[in-house]
Amino acid sequence: MGVVSNSSNHGETLEWLLRENGIGHYFDFLISSADYGFRKPHPEIFKTAIARLGIPREKVWFIGDKPEADIVGAKGVGLTAVWYNANCEPPCTPEPDLTITSWGELGEVLHSVG
């Protein structure tokens, strides 16, 4: 599992924040647009993440809260696009493959498919 961020902070800073919040150990890698020169929805940042995962793109789920960056980008490279819509915003375009409103809901979905 990895993080892809459209941050102006470099990856080292974001990794520190994840560790400080007690969740850094959950992630195998972090890609910050500040380090790579591409911002979501650019396909290259998604392709880089796919390569880092080392699994076929058909098995990759990309979860994001910004439809214009996350859903557009994920669908553009053939990933399963999951919209984290915690604020219950109206439907977006393109339509995500799955919409969740809480992390608990994601856990339920993953449990049902795995």
Domain ranges of the chain: 2-113
Burial letters 86-109, b for 16+ CB under 10 A, else e:
eeeeeebeeebeebbeeeeebeee
113 — pLDDT class (breaks 50, 70, 90) = confident
**CATH topology for the 2-113 domain:** Rossmann fold (3.40.50)
pTM: 0.91
pLDDT digits (tens, 9 = 90+) for 46-85: 999 999 999 999 999 999 999 999 999 999 999 999 999 9
